[in-house]
Amino acid sequence: MWCTWYRIQKIGLDIAADANYDLETNKDSGANAWPYVGYDKSFNINVSDGGKTTEDIKAVLSGIELKKDCEYSLEFDYSIGTEIDMTIKIEGNNEHYSKLIKTSKEKTHFADKITCNSDDANAKIEFLFGGQGNCNLTLSNIKLVKLS
């Protein structure tokens, strides 16, 4: 019985494990990038032109179900080789989380906790890093784990 409850509640499970990976580029602003998702679900993005704004290039993981008043842990590793501003968002019906980080030249681990403010059957995790020239970004070990 406990095992059934555990699966229904999804406590401790990575709810982003089966997410769809996509790259959105605003070609009208000059943004140009090529994505590659590795066998280990690392998300590699080669950017030749970042466009004009942060919104011009977005790495997106979609198809994530969030529950109201539940706490989640967002974790990932990234390497980019340069210092840029990157915004991390979780949104769907509304914005559940947003944080601006300054990337490091070294491979870096990111972790933060989120409490969802509403049910959302089709949320997405977005990494916005357009408008900043060319770069090679690798996002790996992306997890959104339900804590409560």
Q: What is the DSSP string of 32-74?
A: EEEEEE-TT--EEEEEEE--SSGGGEEEEEEEEEE-TT-EEEE
Query: What is the pTM assigned to this prediction?
Result: 0.91
pLDDT in the model for residue 9: 66
pLDDT in the model for residue 7: 46
Contact between residue 42 and residue 78 where contact means Cβ atoms under 8 Å apart: no
pLDDT in the model for residue 38: 92
CATH architecture, domain defined by 2-146? Sandwich (2.60)
Per-residue pLDDT of the chain (148 residues; tens, 9 = 90+): 444 444 456 677 888 999 999 999 999 999 999 999 999 999 999 999 999 999 999 999 999 999 999 999 999 999 998 899 999 999 998 999 999 999 988 999 999 999 998 999 999 999 999 998 899 999 999 999 999 8
Give the up-direction half-sphere exposure of residue 54: CA atoms within 13 A in the CB hemisphere. Answer: 14
